[in-house]
Structure 1
Amino acid sequence: MVQTIEIEGSIFSDNRGKIKFFNSFDMAQIVRFYEISPASPEIIRGWQGHKIEKKWFYCHSGAFVINIVNIAEENIALAELSAERFELNESMPIILEVPAGSASGFKAILPGSKLMVFSNFTLEESTKDDIRFPLETWNAEW
C-alpha cells in the first residue's frame, strides 16, 4: 500500500466570491509546479514512477481519477502490485501527496479538467529519476 496523504483544504464564500485555501500545506519542499490539461477524458496518462521524487496533485478544474502503485516494495514482482485509486475534483479542496517510490497514472473524468502537479525535484533531477511502465502493467479502475 502507498503511504499517500490527503491534505484537506477549506472553502470560504461570501458575497465577494469564493476562496479555496490550504493553510496546512507546507510548500517548503516544492521547487517547481506545472499544470496538465488533458485533450480528452479518454486519455490515460501513466504509468510514470520515481524512486526519489515526491509529488503533490491538486485538481482545480473538473475531476480526475489518480491511481498510485508503490514500486518501492522489495521482493515483490511488479505484476503482483496493485493500484490504489483516488478521485480529486474541483469542489473538494484536497491535495494528494504521493511519496517517493511510487508510480502514478491518471485520467480526467470531465472535459476541461486541469491538474496541478507540484514536485520537490527540478526538471533535470526528475528526468534522471523517471521510470515509465506500459499502461497494462497494472489493473486499475479508471
Structure 2
Amino acid sequence: MIPKIIQGGNFSDHRGTISYVNDFSFEDIKRFYIISNSDENPIRAWQGHKLDAKNFYCLNGSFKIHYVKIDNWENPSKDLAIETVIVSDLDSKIVHIPAGYANAIESLETNSKLISFSTLPLSNVSEDDVRYDSDYWEING
C-alpha cells in the first residue's frame, strides 16, 4: 500500500461552515490523538510504524507531513526519498500513511493542531513503534 490523500471539502452558508471527508472510513480505527507541537520544537520526527497505519487531519493551522518508506528497520538508508504533503484547516483532507513508513510532523503556524487516527490498539504499540533521531533524514524547507 502507498500513502494517499483522501480529499474532503467544506460547505458554508449563513449558519457557518462544515468540513468533511466523506470517503474516509473509520472501520479499522482503534484510537486517535491530537498533536500540538511547541513553537520551540515545531518538528516531531521521526516515528516509524511497522504495523500501524496513520491518518492525519489538520484541525487548526497548518502542517507539513513528511514520510519515508523504510527499507530496513534496524538500519534504514539515509538516502531514502522524503515525500511531503501540506495540510491546513482550510483544506479538508486526510493524509493516509500505511504501515511500513516513518513520519515527521512539522507545524507551520503557532497553535496548529493535527488529529491522528491510528489502526493499532494501544496495547500493541510497543511492538510497532520505531524511533529515529530527529535529524536522521534531513528535512529541507
TM over 0.5: yes
Q: Which runs of 5+ in 1 are unaligned?
A: none
Q: What is the one-letter code of the residue matched to 1:11?
A: N
1:130 matched to 2:129: yes
- State the alpha-carbon separation in 2 of the partners of residues 84 and 53 from structure 1: 19
Structure-2 residue corresponding to 1:86: 85
Kindly state the Cα deviation for residue 84 of structure 1 after the two structures are TM-superposed.
0.5
The alignment of Structure 1 onto Structure 2 pairs a total of residues equal to 140
- State the alpha-carbon separation in 2 of the partners of residues 118 and 132 from structure 1: 19
* TM-score after normalising by structure 1: 0.91
Partner of 1:38, secondary structure, is coil
Structure-1 residue corresponding to 2:15: 16
* TM-score after normalising by structure 2: 0.92
- State the alpha-carbon separation in 2 of the partners of residues 117 and 77 from structure 1: 24
Structure-2 residue corresponding to 1:36: 35
- State the alpha-carbon separation in 1 of the partners of residues 11 and 88 from structure 2: 17
Partner of 1:137, secondary structure, is coil
Kindly state the Cα deviation for residue 40 of structure 1 after the two structures are TM-superposed.
1.3
Contact 1:41 1:107 in 2 (8 A): no
- State the alpha-carbon separation in 1 of the partners of residues 21 and 40 from structure 2: 27
Q: What is the one-letter code of the residue matched to 2:136?
A: T
- Overall identity of the aligned pairs, in %: 35
Contact 1:67 1:85 in 2 (8 A): yes
Q: Which runs of 5+ in 2 are unaligned?
A: none
Kindly state the Cα deviation for residue 73 of structure 1 after the two structures are TM-superposed.
6.4
Stretches (4+) displaced over 4 A = none
CA 1:66–1:41: 2 relative to 1, 3 Å: farther
CA RMSD across the alignment = 1.9
- State the alpha-carbon separation in 1 of the partners of residues 121 and 108 from structure 2: 29
Kindly state the Cα deviation for residue 43 of structure 1 after the two structures are TM-superposed.
2.4
Per-residue CA distance 1:68-97 (angstroms, 9 max, x = gap): 0000469x9521212111110000001000
